[in-house]
Amino acid sequence: MSTTEPHDAVDVIVTKRGKGELSDGQIDWVVDAYTRGVVADEQMSSLAMAILLNGMTRREISRWTAAMIASGERMDFSSLSRPTADKHSTGGVGDKITLPLAPLVAACGVAVPQLSGRGLGHTGGTLDKLESVPGWRAALSNAEMLAQLDDVGAVICAAGDGLAPADKKLYALRDVTGTVEAIPLIASSIMSKKIAEGTGALVLDVKVGSGAFMKDVDSARELARTMVELGTDAGVRTVAVLTNMQTPLGLTAGNALEVRESVEVLAGGGPPDVVELTLVLAREMLAAAGRDDVDPADALADGRAMDAWRRMIAAQGGDPDAELPRARETHVVAAPADGVLTSLDALQVGVAAWRLGAGRARKEDPVQAGAGVELHAKPGAVVRGGDPLLTLHTDTPERFERALAALEGAYTIAPEGSRPDLLPLVVDRIA
């Protein structure tokens, strides 16, 4: 190591290993030095494990997030004629909410700069879903993004390499070192990108349940509170909503399947839970941006949200009237008996959709646009033996066997009169 470096990686690791607090100088240096390649992967993985085991104070997490932001560029939307608000979901199964939400909020006079990602494992990625629309492209320059926000009011696109490059490097390391679950590192990863993105207000949809990152309400609440504090400390109006991910959201998990469902919501239909959550988050975004005088339900009902969707898709090269891809093969899973569907496990449905080709195991894997799982009943529904419960979609029928294996024990059918024991759709709100 060069003698000009003001700190030493081993000292930083030993401080955190001993449950000490890192100084601002140590944090600024270690994030920058890791980004530059001065701190080795094995040293940063050791520090990440110490953070996982021993935690960080609010000051440490806030400083760590600021150091991640400082590793790259910051976007600026102050030239826009309207306020900005963004939403981040921690990811789940059937979570297509960004698709109807961005144009809905734009139709109500608030610009939505939605930088999204791709799916990995059982949680779907917003960009993968939209890429099932013929012609649509995810990669926009900062200038194109700003022009589209000015014109349409909503953009959903990939984050450029310039935003928080330290996070990109650290995220890949956490993935292979068993440190993904460290709440300080999850929170700083999400919030460094969102704060660098330059939005004025941020609404966090923190999922809780089997299909979510956070399996229980207490850990979801801790993550939500940490992220709200980070946003607040950085001057971004931030609120978090804890929402149920015990069971899939809506009636589809897949790419084109979820786009089709999102368009139904924008047309005034769609599954009640998707409509409800879209409106809950829209109201939060509008209030955080100072526009709580507008009711987003009106913009869904009168077609303004659909108009904004069509303009948003077209602005990124997509054809809003094109036929969406459909999988070549389907397989129906029938209800084994009469009764009430009392549970349908989100994680198992997500893994089945992933195995059908809707998701990827590695970043470079391709996805099938038409693959996924369609639900014919949700918990609480009365079903009859032999009725369709799920339809599996894929272009490659050899995938059905492993998808069906993922669904073993995924649902429960109880005698009529039984009631599902589920969390409410919105569990809590943290501001």
Active site includes 174?
Answer: yes
CA distance 206 to 266: 23
**Counting beta carbons within 10 angstroms of the beta carbon of residue 76, is it exposed (0 to 12), middle (13 to 18) or buried (19 or more)?**
exposed
Catalytic residue from among 96, 118, 193, 355:
193
The residue from 46, 62, 189, 262 that is catalytic is 189
Taking Cα atoms as reference points, which of 292, 302, 260, 296 lies closest to residue 276?
296
Active site residue 233: no
**Catalytic residue check, 418:** no
Going by the DSSP 8-state scheme, the letter that residue 292 receives in this structure is T
CB atoms < 10 A from the CB of 165, how many?
15
User: CB of 158 within 8 A of CB of 138?
Assistant: yes
Alpha-carbon span 282 to 293, nearest angstrom: 12
Active site residue 393: no
Tokens of 114: 């939605």
**Is residue 88 annotated as a catalytic residue, yes or no?**
yes
Q: Is 72 strand, coil or helix?
A: coil
Tell me if 422 sits within 8 A of 246, measured CB to CB: yes
Catalytic residue among 28, 167, 273, 345: 167
Q: For residue 204, how many C-alpha atoms fall within 13 Å in the half-sphere facing its CB?
A: 32
How many C-beta atoms surround the C-beta of residue 139 within 10 A?
10
Query: Is residue 280 within 8 Å of 244, Cβ to Cβ?
Result: no
- Transcribe 10-46 into DSSP letters: HHHHHHHHTTPPPPHHHHHHHHHHHHHTSS-HHHHHH
Burial group, residue 57, by CB count within 10 angstroms (0-12, 13-18, 19+): exposed
Contact by Cβ (8 Å): 112, 154:
yes
Q: Which of 174, 194, 207, 399 is catalytic?
A: 174
Please pick, among 7, 16, 87, 88, the residue that the annotation labels catalytic.
88
Burial 378-397 (b: 16+ CB within 10 A, else e): bbebebeeeeebbbbbbbee
Q: So which residues are the catalytic ones?
A: 88, 167, 174, 189, 193
